[in-house]
Amino acid sequence: MTDRLRLSQRHRDILLALLRKHLRDTEVWVYGSRVNGRGHDGSDLDLVLRGPGRDQIPLARLMDFEDAVRESTIPFLVEARDWARLPERFQREIEREHVVLVALRR
């Protein structure tokens, strides 16, 4: 999976640590150019965050995560969107082509 996303193990580890710290219990999907084959090492990383029960993620938690990513050593833009705040049409597009980065434990 890491190779397909053109995401180094080091950057993946940083991202996963930040997700564990700020967005525990959130399923994370990657979509966009890093999934559809049009991306490169410097492409932005498009994430969609799916909270428990698909409820909206509190904005403070989302902003804390985004701030932490910006302050990290990840050298490319990480765009994080809350699934519950996306239009259904955009959700359907993401469902068609995505990679699960973090799955919810059941």
Per-residue pLDDT reduced to its tens digit, 5-56: 888 999 999 999 999 999 999 999 999 999 998 888 788 999 999 988 888 9
Task: Enter the pTM of the model.
Answer: 0.91
Position 4 scores a pLDDT of 80
Position 39 scores a pLDDT of 84
Nearest to 66 by CA among 22, 101, 102: 22
Per-residue pLDDT reduced to its tens digit, 47-72: 999 988 888 999 999 999 999 999 99
Question: Which pair of tokens denotes residue 60?
Answer: 């403070």
Q: Where are the domains of the chain?
A: 9-102
Position 73 scores a pLDDT of 95
Q: In the CATH hierarchy, which top-level class contains the domain 9-102?
A: alpha beta
Question: Which pair of tokens denotes residue 2?
Answer: 């890491």
Coil/strand/helix, residue 101: strand
Residue 61's identity, in one-letter code, is R
Position 105 scores a pLDDT of 64
Position 2 scores a pLDDT of 52
Burial class (CB in 10 A: 0-12, 13-18, 19+), 23: buried
Classify the C-alpha dihedral 67-80-105-54 as positive or negative. Answer: positive
